Structure formats: C-alpha cells, structure tokens
A and B are shown apart, each in its own frame.
Chain A
Amino acid sequence: MPVAASAIYFLNLRGDVLINRLYRDDVGGNMVDAFRMHIMQTKELGTCPVRQIGGCSFFYMRISNVYIVIVVSSNANVACAFKFVVEAVALFKSYFGGAFDEDAIRNNFVLIYELLDEIMDFGYPQNLSPEILKLYITQEGVRSPFSSKPSDRPVPNATLQVTGAVGWRREGLVYKKNEVFLDIVESVNLLMSSKGSVLRCDVTGKILMKCFLSGMPDLKLGLNDKIGLEKESQLKSRPTKSGKTIELDDVTFHQCVNLTRFNSEKTVSFVPPDGEFELMKYRITEGVNLPFRVLPTIKELGRTRMEVNVKVKSVFGAKMFALGVVIKIPVPKQTAKTSFQVTSGRAKYNAAIDCLVWKIRKFPGQTEPTLSAEVELISTMAEKKSWTRPPIQMEFQVPMFTASGLRVRFLKVWEKSGYNTVEWVRYITKAGSYEIRC
C-alpha cells in the first residue's frame, strides 16, 4: 500500500503558488485550485488540517504567511506527513538562517527546488538532515563534494554521510575552544478554576544543546530524575542522596541518544550533532511548582460598570525575577472607558483583543503586585446575553527556575584526544497556556 505524497505546494495567504513540486502523476494538476476553492475560500479554512476533496486528501499547515499543502491520493500516514512538513521547514530555516516566510521562499526558490528534490523522491521521504544536506547543497551552490577537482575543504568519507548510518555528525570537526551549551526550557501549562483550584497542570520541557566540540565526542548527561537516580544508587549500592527527585512522565530523545543504553542503565549518552539541536523532550504532571498565582475578583456592578481586581503572586525565590510578564484580563466588548491603578508595571486597555493588558518587565520573586481597574460599559438595549468570561491569560519567562525542579547533575564529555571542554547550563521556565478562569 503506497503511502507516498503526490505533490507538495507552498502557497501564500492569497492562494498564489510560490513553489510546487509534483512527485507523482496520480493527482491532477489542478489540485491547487481545488484547495483554493474548497478550503482557502471557504469558512473551512482552519477548521480541520486534513480534508478530503475528490479522491485526494489535503494536509495543510500554516507557517507564518505561507500555507504548505501536501496532497495524497491514498490512505496515507498523517502523522508522518505533518512531521515531514515540520522537518522540511526546519531544514529550510537552517538554510535561510531563521525566518521562513513568503519573502524567504521567493528569494531562495532555486535552493528550495534543490532541497525538495533531495528530501523526497517519488513521494517517499529521503534525507532531511540539515547536517548531511549541507554537505552537498549549499546556498551559494558551490561544487559537489564528489567533484574530482581538488576541493578547498576536506570532506572525508562524505559518501557514507550522505546516506549513511551516523547521519547526524561528520568527522574531522575542529574547534579551538570546545564548548557545550545546554538549555533546559520548560513551559508550564495551567488551567485554574475561578475558585482557585488547579484543574489541569503540566510541564513540557525540552533540553536544547549547542555543541562546538572537536572530533567524535561521547557525552553523558545526568539529571535529578527519579529513575536515573534510583538506577545509579542501585549500581553503586549507595543510598540516594537526599534532595528532590523528579518523576518524568515520559521522555523522547533525539536520534543521537543511545536508547538501548538509556533503557538498561537509565543514562543519557550520545554523540551529539554539530551545532544546535534538541536533545530530549519530557513531560511532567506531578509536583509542578507554579511560578505565579493569580487571584482575580471581577464584579459586575449593574449594567454599565465593572470592577476588576487582580493580584498576582510570584512564588519563586526572592533572589530570582521573572521577565516579560504580561497578564491579559478580558473585559466585555462594549467597554467604553477604563481607569487603572497598578502597584507595579503598566497597564492599558487593548480594544482589539478586548483585554486589559498589564505588563511588568521585571517581576521579582515573593512579591504580589495588584491591579485595580474600573471599567465603564456602553449600555446597549439589545444586550440581553450575559457576558461569557474568557480566562485570564498570562505570559512570562523565569530564568534560572524550573517549574518541574529538574536539574542537571553532570554533563561529561569524552573524546579520545582528551581535550578540556567548557560546559554552560541555563534554565528557563516560560508560560505555555497559563489560564485562570474568572
């Protein structure tokens, strides 16, 4: 049963084709018209990312101002198709250096054609690893690494790497200074009821690494997670040190991590790719430290007046502080006038999103600033429906804080040449979807 993609389209928001690639003949050439007519120009847009039109299925995704559409004619693997798009976009981004949008596509269309040819053949995904592709497709289009002419930089054993087994790292890398940067980035998702009880709360975290290491180093990462620690104490037959241990609900790793070893020894060991990559992702639902508590009281005083009081408590260490704190407090559509008092930061009324937006640039720990606002409403005769209160939403970043309590215990680097490395570790917690009903 073929699961191959028949075509891929890149469209702008108006539906003009920026680039397309037809991999197979089993779909007509007017697929894009069908997409425009039945999805883009209808209310259907955005209601479901998978749609069937005629005999074909369309998977589409919007990334900045571009729609990427994959067309298949058979019963394809959906997860695979979306993952492919995401990976392809990541690949393009790594080539353009950051942005992926309509202009980037227009400016690099030859390059994208080249890449589309390599990453998929006759609808089957091939090699999407930027590490390898950059060996033979470069932005400037320098000559092939296989060229018989003496090339200016040595690319030993490139053939193996083009398709080979150690897909993520090439040999012979040399850095003057060997450095590793490790970031633990967590996002906290919270749903709190109006009565202040936590309905749902979890943390999705990822460990991002940036490696500038020579040769073929072997890295080993130790975290204060429960399973890893238990295993370690078992092996060393030494009681676990006191201190917080974290229970990870689930972990996924970059392909470079030796999963067999993880399963037997519970250690994360790997040969890292060069440069930036995401080492692992995890999810935690138990024992989450919420960095902020929000205590709202919203009173509707008659038909034309509302009183809003919001207190935000920071519950992390007093020496730490949060950055870029934004609290969005919803108000009704017919808001006419607002007046505020805040004990910290700045607030204003944003009519476009029907919210009071309260911004605090630097928010120290163990403090509790408040906002009190009076909102005047236009009285409308027809307004008999009561206002449905959307939740208060919050954005923030807390450096050096992890909501899960996860810490790096050690990061060891071995390389046969035995050089010294400098390791940098950072922690940051961001708001995922942090919602408080009021």
Chain B
Amino acid sequence: MAPPAQSQRSPSPSQPSGKSEVSDLKLQLRQLAGSRAPGVDDSKRELFKKVISYMTVGIDVSSLFGEMVMCSATSDIVLKKMCYLYVGNYAKVNPDLALLTINFLQRDCNDEDPMIRGLALRSLCSLRVANFVEYLVGPLGSGLKDSNSYVRMVAVIGVLKLYHISASTCVDADFPSILKHLMLNDSDTQVVANCLSALQEIWSAEASTSEEASREREALISKPVIYYLLNRIREFSEWAQCLVLELVTKYVPSDSSEIFDIMNLLEDRLQHANGAVVLATIKVFLHLTLSMTDVHQQVYERIKAPLLTLVSSGSPEQSYAVLSHLHLLVMRAPYIFSSDYKHFYCQYNEPSYVKRLKLEMLTAVANESNTYEIVTELCEYAANVDIPIARESIRAVGKIALQQYDVNAIVDRLLQFLEMEKDYVTAEALVLVKDLLRKYPQWSHDCIAVVGNISSKNVQEPKAKAALIWMLGEYSQDMQDAPYILESLVENWDEEHSAEVRLHLLTAVMKCFFKRPPETQNALGTALAAGIADFHQDVHDRALFYYRILQYNVSVAERVVNPPKQAVSVFADTQSSEIKDRIFDEFNSLSVVYQKPSYMFTDKEHRGPFEFSDELGNLSIGGEAADNVVSAQRVEENDKDLLLTTSEKEETRGSSNNGSAYTAPYDGSSTSVFALQTHIESAISNPTAADHSPQASLAIDDLLGLGLPAAPAPPSPQLKLNTTAALDPSTFQHKWRQLPVALSQEYSVSPQGVAALTAPQALLRHMQSHSIHCIASGGQSPNFKFFFFAQKAEEASNYLVECIISTSSAKAQIKIKADDQSTSQAFSTLFQSALSKFGIP
C-alpha cells in the first residue's frame, strides 16, 4: 500500500487538517463494522493502515475512536495490533472513549491464544489512564500466573506500568512480592529479567518512604539472589545480561576468593559480541577489585584487548561510547596504556568527536619512551583541515611539553609551529610558548628569539595576542624591539577590541618600563592615559591603579607589578579527584560520556529552572514560537552552567597558583591567564593586601569608590565598619541564638554576581573588602549559604548575617541580627550595596 505521500511531505507539526479524509475513513469504517462478508478483514486492514499512517504523521484521527473500537471485534491479529496501537495513542486524551475499549481488551486477556492474551494485556497496561487501574489488577494477577511465558513476560512489565500510574494500587495488590517469587523461580529468563528491572524500579522508588522496601532493595543484592542470577547468566539475552551485571557491581563479596569466583565465572563475557555486555563485565571487574591494587592492575591489562577491539568495530557512535570509557580508564591509569598509543592515532575520516577523545588520550599516555612518536603524530594533525582538531592537537603538544621532563625536542616543534604561518597555528602556539616559559624559564632564550620575529600584526586572536604581549613585557630586557612593538600596540589602542588584550598591554608596558625606562616612558604615558579613558571598567581600574601606585612610589609599584616569579611547577588539575571517582563509580553510563557525575545532569536543581513539561509538549502550532523562546532560554541556561563549571575550575586553579607559586599577589597579568574576571577582582580586593597594610587597602577602597561612578548606592556614610573585626565562632553561635532577627530581606543578585559566584570563596573575598567578614560558608552551585559578621568601626557592636544565595533564581535571602537594632537598616543598605557590586568588575 502507498502511504499518502503528499500529506507526509509537508512539515509535520503543521499538517493540513485532513478533515475530509478523516470523515471519509469514518464512513468506510462504519460500513465495515458490522459486516461479516469474506475478505472484509483485508479491507479493514487497508483502512486501519491509513488511520495509523495519518496518526503517525500527526493528523488528529481521534474522532474515529468509536468506529475503530467497533471494528476491533476480529480474530485477525494484525488488525488487533493496529487497533491496540491506535487506542494506546488516544486513550490518554480521550479517557471517556477509552473506557469503551476496556471491555474488549479484558475479553482478549482471556483469549485462548497466548499471543493475543499478551498483546491485550500489554495494551491494557499502556493506556496509562489513572481511572482504569481497577480494571488492571485482575488481568495482571492472572497474567502473572499464566502458563505461557510470553504472557508472564508482558504481565511483569505491566506491573511496572501500573506502579507508575498508581503506586498504591500496585503495592496493595501485593504485586512486588509476586514478582519477587517469579524472579527466583520462573523458568523463563526474560521473565526473570523483567522482574528484576521492575523490582529495581519499584523498590528504589518505595525505599524513601518504606523501610521494608529499602530492605527488599538490599535483598536484591544479597548473596543468594546474585548467585542465582550469575549461575543462569548464560541463559539470559544479551540485554538481560547487562541488567544482571549492573546489579552484580553493587554486590559486596565477603572475601577475595568470592571475588575470584565471580571473575572466573564472568571472564568469558569479555568475549561477547555485544559491547554493552563487555562494558558491563568490565565494570564488575573494576569494582570488585577496587581494594586489591595488584589485581586491579591485572584487570586493566585483561580488559585492554576487548576494549580496543570494540573501539575499532561497529559504527562510529558505538565506538564513541566505548572510547569514552576507554578514555576514562586511560586517564585513570595512563601508564598501563602507554604502549598502546598507536591505537589512539586518528584516522583522516573519523568524526571529530572521536578525534578529540583520541587526542586527549594521546596526551595522557605520553611518557619518556613514546613522546617522540606521539608528538610527531600530533604535528601531522596540526596541518589538519579540521581547524578545531588542528588547534586541539597543538594544545596537546603543549600539554605534553608541560608534563614532560625532557622538553628539548618539543620546544623545537612548537617553535616550528610558529613558523608555519597559519594564523590559528601561530595563535595556539603562542599561547603554549607562554605557558611553557612560565614552567621552564630556562628556555626563554630560544623561544624569545623566535617570538621576537613574529609580527604582532599577524596575530589577531585575543588569547594569542595577550600571550604575545605578556612575553613582550616579561622578557622586554631580552627583546631588542620590545618597547617599540609595545609602543606601536599602544598607539593602536582604540582598534584593540578585546579588553583582555588591553589589560595585558597595560601590565606589559609597566613591566617594560621598569626594565627599560627611557625607551618606554612615552608609551607608558600614552597607555595610562588611554587606559584611564577606557570605557571598560577593568581596564580603567587597572590603569588608574597603576597610575596611583606609580605616583605613590615607583619602587613599590615595581614590587607589586613585576615581582620576581618562581616557575610554576604544576598546573592544577581541572577536575577534582572526587568528581573523577564519582564518574568512575558510574561506569557504563552517560556520566562517562558527559564526563560529569550523574547528579550534575539528572537532578532537577542542576538543570536550571526551565523544564520541558507536558504542557509545553501539548502546545499546538500556535505555541511553537513560545516554545522556541523557552528552549532557547534553556540552552542559554545550560551554557551558563557550563560556563560556571569551567570558571570554577579556573578559580581553583588560579587560587592555588596564587598561594604557592607567586610571592606577590598583584601580578595581574600572569594570573589573568587563568581566570581573568575573578582574578582582577581578587587582585583589587585581595585579602592578603588587607592583612599586611590596612592603609593601602583602605586607599584602594577609596579609589574604587571614586573609580566606580556606575556603582549603585554608595555605602551609607553614617555607618563605618571595622576593617579588622574579629569574632570567634562560638561567640557568633551564641549571639545568633540569642538575638532576634532584626531584618529579613530578599535581594536579587546581578547576573554578573551569579556568574562570579562559582565557589563560596569568591564572595568571601569580595565581602571582606567591604569589611564584612565570613565566619562560615558552604553549599554548592546553585545554592550557597554564608554566615557573615561585621563590627562598627567605633564601638564593639556586631552585625550577624545569614545569607542564602541561589544562583539558579539569582536571589539572595538575608537575615540580619544586630546588637544595636537601630542601625540594622543602615547596615542592611551597606550589605546590599556590597553584594550588588559583587561580580561587577
């Protein structure tokens, strides 16, 4: 039969109504309904097909409900199936009409043909109408006891469906315990597997409310059940094997001999053709041996071959799924895979998502013996047509350089990149050379010679330009032309669109000035003037700050802007080991592909406030525009989420550098390589400065006050806070309990504030610069909680604040308690203005 082509070709949501066709069908169905003429089934079939095809395309054929039900009295199984499909599709929207079908479905549930019994039962449970649950219990009960395994298999899943419609009905009918009995006794493995899935779902959901259910859930991973399932594992279908193996990972064996028994039993699963089974087995092995270090190593060796086979077979999508897992293992134990690096070479036609993972793995497995080959291979990719991949490979070379001891050859390669005269290659290479110099200052001589030859006109990307400028500033004594290159850059100040570059330029000119004052003086003057006139707040602030500090004392300025630096020994890891372990625990799931633990993408509060809901789903064509907007917003939300996590990483990285590597915290230029935004901010309000010279920090505060014409509501003048307030936690606690709440308010936090609040520490530093100190903080994105305190400057009168900030709703809830209630309003204003400046650079 030919499906109605013309209607299908039109875009699916906005179908032509197809009204006339539908009423036509209605008429024809009605004629056939009562007929018993021979061949009537065939014509019915044609009609049903038409109805289903309309339904698929999105034409509303619900008006045919009555006729369809009338025609369903047939012994033809295909007709029945089509009818069930139709009913299942429209029952939810037409519960009244659906009631009509209950009767014939119930009758079919008692048919003598087990196939029909099963189908009817499945359809009955798929109606998903809450009012019908009473009709389900009977057929399900008898279905579970059916002599035919097909019917039992359907009935078991039926129980799960019932549970989702009405949990109480399902539990009251005692279905879970029947399933448990079936699971342990049924001869058919698919029935057993379905029981297992159903019970896992039901008991996990019930466990939060019922202690018995949580006990039952525990019982699923008890020794008898696990052993029973393991002994039958070869009988299970491949999908059911995955299920069982996943369950086994949760089992805790009592001793090591048990562990070896299980591994011996499951070893042949590693040869299964289904990659999912192999991955599930690998998970079992890895988790069982976590506490046995040497065996764990051996497991890695054992699973290497099957994993590599899976990667090289199957569709790109499948191998991507496996590769993500291999990637995780390589990252955990790179040395085990270091001899297999050739497997991670990219093929020319591979999709970029595969190449990207491979590049990361190549980087990870590089060691003394294979670095040369790997770097040679990576250099090949640098000329790749796929520019993002080419960039990644250059970055990979850089990463290898940073993790190796013998970087001699790599430096040469990087310098070759600089000579390749491709914009993006030069750009990436510049950034890398800069990082390299920060770790290995001894290479400066070789690098600077090459870098000096690069015309700044050929470098357009902000990151690369910033790197080049940083090097010009840092090594201006070694580069003959440095002051003049900087000068020409300063002259083109207005054409420089990136604030990041302008910031770097300021710092570089300053540094150059300390080293070669006569040649740079001019440029410095121009730069500071341009910087102070700059519309960008950060640039303006930095220029003004440099200007003032130069005015104050040039040698202090040099100490602050260009202190002697130690080489960076270790660049901080981007992901905490805790998160990595979480991901490892969730091996063989999406977490590994997304490279984040599941709570980050399945928990509601992490997804942001926008959700797909049924209402949205039911919006008709007219609503599509609205739908557009909402989803777009959500994407933004997601993006922001991403942004938050990366900048969070940078934050931790940045602060660790600050703490360990740099002696003076004010070298904005080198820290801003990491997290510009947060760092400028911390540079301005840095607590260390406040510690050793309170005067200076006050001056900065003042200066900021002057320099922030756009800042809302200057702090109320009457209330001065003590900058060095102190309060010990027990006193705080005591006071908090004693004092009444003076004020309770909700502020909204600016978007910049939300963006900057990646970790509690960021806010703490900021508030401290406003003389509001934190005594305790906690929470994780999106909800943070802080306890602050402040003291009046002249007297020992305390203010206590509880502040809960939700970044998802951008709201801050504040409770203020005060020794002196009369000034609490003034303090609140102060607090609010301080908070409102947070994140605004």
Interface string of A7-25 (1 = CB under 8 A from B): 0000000111111100011
Q: Is B128 an interface residue (CB 8 A)?
A: yes
Q: Once bound together, how far apart are the Cα atoms of A33 and B12, in whole Å?
A: 10
Most buried by B among A125, A167, A202: A125
Asked if A146 meets B610 with Cβ closer than 8 Å, knowing A49-B316, A281-B309, the reply is no
Partner of A122, one of B161, B273, B320: B161
Q: Does B52 contact A (CB under 8 A)?
A: yes
CB neighbours of B308 from chain A (8 A): 249-250, 283
Residue B534 lies at the interface, judged by CB distance under 8 Å to chain A: no
CA distance in complex: A85, B590 (Å):
16
Establish whether residues A145 and B115, one from each chain, have CB atoms under 8 Å apart when the complex forms: yes
B200 within 8 A of A: yes
Q: How many residues of A contact B (CB 8 A)?
A: 113
B3 within 8 A of A: yes
**Would you call A163 and B149 a contact (CB within 8 A)?**
yes
Q: Which of B194, B317, B349, B385 is in CB contact (< 8 Å) with A433?
A: B349
Q: Which residue of A lies closest to B152 (CB)?
A: A163
Binds B, one of A318-326, A342-350, A385-393, A398-406: A385-393
Verify A164–B188 contact, CB threshold 8 A.
yes
Q: Which of A37, A76, A202, A385 contacts B422 (CB 8 A)?
A: A385
User: Min CB distance, A130 to chain B, in Å?
Assistant: 13
In the complex, B588 has a CB within 8 A of chain A:
yes
Q: Is the CB of A47 within 8 A of B353?
A: yes
Q: Are A28 and B614 in contact (CB under 8 A)?
A: yes
Which residues of B136-160 are within 8 A (CB) of A?
A: 148-150, 153-154, 157, 160
Q: Does B644 contact A (CB under 8 A)?
A: no
Return the CB mask of B418-453 against A: 1 if under 8 Å, else 0. 000110000000000000000000000000000000
- Given known contacts A2-B201, A117-B81, A199-B345, A30 and B617 CB-to-CB distance under 8 angstroms: yes
Size of the B side of the interface (Cβ < 8 Å), in residues, is 128
Q: Is the CB of B56 within 8 A of A167?
A: no
Provided the pairs A17-B56, A83-B276, A109-B52 are in contact, do residues A76 and B589 lie with their beta carbons within 8 angstroms? yes
Q: With both chains docked as a complex, state the minimum distance between the C-beta of B365 and any C-beta of chain A, in angstroms.
A: 14
In the complex, A132 Cα to B176 Cα: how many Å? 29
Determine whether A55 belongs to the interface, using a CB cutoff of 8 Å to chain B.
Answer: yes
Known: A38-B635, A48-B353, A124-B157. Is A147-B113 also a contact (CB below 8 A)?
yes
Q: Does B563 contact A (CB under 8 A)?
A: no
B49 touches A30 (CB 8 A): no
The stretch that binds B, out of A235-243, A258-266, A292-300, A409-417, is: A258-266
Question: Do the beta carbons of A110 and B52 come within 8 Å of each other?
Answer: yes
CB distance from B370 to the nearest CB of A (A): 12
Segment 612-647 of B: residues with Cβ below 8 Å from A: 612-614, 616-619, 624, 627-628, 631, 634-635, 638
A390 with B348: CB separation less than 8 A: yes
Are A79 and B321 also in contact (CB < 8 A) when A37-B631, A47-B353, A122-B160 are? yes
Q: Which residue of A lies closest to B242 (CB)?
A: A80
Contact among A86, A145, A147, A148 with B314 in the assembled complex (CB-CB below 8 Å)? A86
Docked pose: A250 CA to B303 CA in angstroms: 10
Q: Which secondary structure dominates chain A's binding surface?
A: mixed
Known contacts A254-B273, A385-B422, A433-B348: does B191 contact A163 (CB below 8 Å)? yes
Write the chain B residue with the least CB distance to A27.
B612
> Which chain B residues border A19 with CB–CB below 8 Å?
56
Residue B561 lies at the interface, judged by CB distance under 8 Å to chain A: no
CA distance A144 to B624 in the complex (A): 44
Tell me the A325-381 residues at the B interface (CB within 8 Å).
none
Cβ-defined partner of B115 (8 Å) among A56, A136, A191 = A136
Which residue of A has the minimal Cβ distance to B320? A49
State whether B309 touches A249 (Cβ < 8 A): yes
In the assembled complex, A186 has its CB within 8 A of some CB on chain B? no
What is the bound-complex CA distance between A16 and B586, given in angstroms? 35
A121 and B353 within 8 A (CB): no
**Measured CA separation A49–B322 after assembly (Å):** 13
In the complex, which residue of chain B has the Cβ closest to the Cβ of A202?
B312
The answer to whether B324 has its CB under 8 Å from any CB of chain A is: yes
A61 to B315, CA, bound (A): 9
B317 touches A82 (CB 8 A): yes
User: Known: A78-B321, A204-B313, A253-B273. Contact between A433 and B49, CB under 8 A?
Assistant: no
Complexed CA–CA distance, A61 and B314 (Å):
12
Most buried by B among A19, A55, A60, A393: A55
Question: Is B77 in contact with A141, judged by CB distance below 8 angstroms?
Answer: yes
Interchain CB contact under 8 A, A141 and B78: yes
Inter-chain contact B614/A29, CB cutoff 8 Å: yes
The stretch among B601-609, B671-679, B700-708 that forms the contact with chain A is B601-609
Q: Is B253 an interface residue (CB 8 A)?
A: no
Which single member of A55, A78, A159 contacts B324 (CB below 8 Å)? Answer: A78
Closest to B128 in A: A25
What is the bound-complex CA distance between A437 and B349, given in angstroms? 13
B246 CB to closest chain A CB, in angstroms?
8
User: Quick one: which of B276, B324, B624 contacts A77, CB cutoff 8 A?
Assistant: B276
B779 interfacial contact with A, CB 8 Å? no
Q: Which of B8, B12, B384: most chain A CB closer than 10 A?
A: B12
**Please, what's the 1-or-0 string for A170-200, where 1 marks a CB less than 8 Å from any CB in chain B?**
0000000000000000000101000000011
Q: How far is the CA of A17 from the CA of B57 in the complex (A)?
A: 7
Give, as a whole number of angstroms, the nearest-CB distance from B570 to chain A: 31
* CB <8 Å contact, A165 and B189: yes
> Interface readout for B58-80 with A: 1 if CB under 8 Å, 0 if not?
10000000000000000111100
Interface segment, B292-300, B517-525, B591-599? B591-599
The answer to whether A117 and B122 have CB atoms under 8 Å apart is yes
- Provided the pairs A82-B318, A278-B273, A283-B308 are in contact, do residues A388 and B383 lie with their beta carbons within 8 angstroms? yes
| B350 to chain A: closest residue by CB | A433
Q: Which of A65-83 contact B (CB under 8 A)?
A: 72-80, 82-83
Q: Which of B173-208 contact A (CB under 8 A)?
A: 188-191, 193-194, 197, 200-201, 204
Apart from the given pairs A77-B242, A148-B112, A283-B313, 12 other A-B contacts in the complex at a CB distance below 8 Å: A29-B614, A73-B602, A74-B602, A75-B602, A113-B85, A124-B239, A146-B148, A162-B150, A163-B149, A249-B309, A283-B305, A433-B347
A-B contact pairs, 27 of them (CB 8 A): A2-B204, A16-B12, A30-B627, A33-B624, A33-B631, A47-B353, A52-B594, A54-B610, A55-B611, A56-B612, A61-B315, A75-B589, A75-B591, A78-B592, A79-B588, A107-B1, A110-B49, A117-B122, A126-B194, A141-B76, A145-B115, A147-B77, A159-B148, A162-B149, A252-B309, A263-B268, A281-B309
Which 9 residue pairs across A and B have the least CB separation, nearest first?
A: A28-B617, A141-B78, A29-B617, A259-B268, A80-B276, A125-B239, A75-B598, A250-B305, A144-B115
